[in-house]
Chains A and B, each alone.
Chain A
């Protein structure tokens, strides 16, 4: 059974800081890994998708890495802004399902 864990559960940082969110998974037989953002009461917005054969993906201030062998992924956010405040969810495509972590609640203070 695939289990996805995200650390930390919550994070509060001042505006402008660079930060790292962590995701780990127990079974390395994943098809790909996806990072999402969710604002309170809203749907999920896809941020980055990393295929299992890739090591990282970048989009603007976001960079996600994947180390399948160790079962880890990180999401790096550069120069954080108050608008980045949200819950960040990591999910792996395992078999034909998306398995989510519990998320990291990020608050960026102005």
Chain B
């Protein structure tokens, strides 16, 4: 099983809402990633978790809050987002610096 799942597929939220994105993998990978992708641009790294600990934060605004409750699950908590945060949010997982497997993404629209 080389699948990374993400929920929800689509999310529309207002600027005062609090919502969460969820990512799950059962490949035994100990590295998990959040990326943000704007239209017609490549993915941009946001966060990296290694062995359930945050190892990289690419200077992401605090309105994005990652969480890794266990080795299979990665969440991204969203609060007080701006319209410019609208994007495709991708989750990925890997064994160390090996092949990264990506989920289908959550299409986020902030009104």
CB distance from B54 to the nearest CB of A (A): 13
A31 surroundings in chain B (CB, below 8 A): 97
Query: Is the beta-carbon distance between B105 and A49 smaller than 8 angstroms?
Result: no
A46 surroundings in chain B (CB, below 8 A): 99-102
Label chain A's interface by main secondary structure: strand
From residue 28 to 43 of chain A, which have CB atoms closer than 8 A to chain B?
A: 31-32, 34, 36, 41-43
B55 surroundings in chain A (CB, below 8 A): 96
Interface range for B: 20 to 34
Query: Is the beta-carbon distance between B105 and A98 smaller than 8 angstroms?
Result: no
A42 surroundings in chain B (CB, below 8 A): 104-105
Q: How far is the CA of A43 from the CA of B56 in the complex (A)?
A: 22
The stretch from B13-21, B37-45, B72-80 touching chain A is B37-45
From residue 10 to 57 of chain A, which have CB atoms closer than 8 A to chain B?
A: 31-32, 34, 36, 41-46, 49
Q: How far is the CA of A45 from the CA of B102 in the complex (A)?
A: 7
CB distance from A35 to the nearest CB of B (A): 11
B99 surroundings in chain A (CB, below 8 A): 34, 46, 49
Chain A residues engaging chain B, CB cutoff 8 angstroms? 31-32, 34, 36, 41-46, 49, 89, 91, 93, 96-98, 100-103
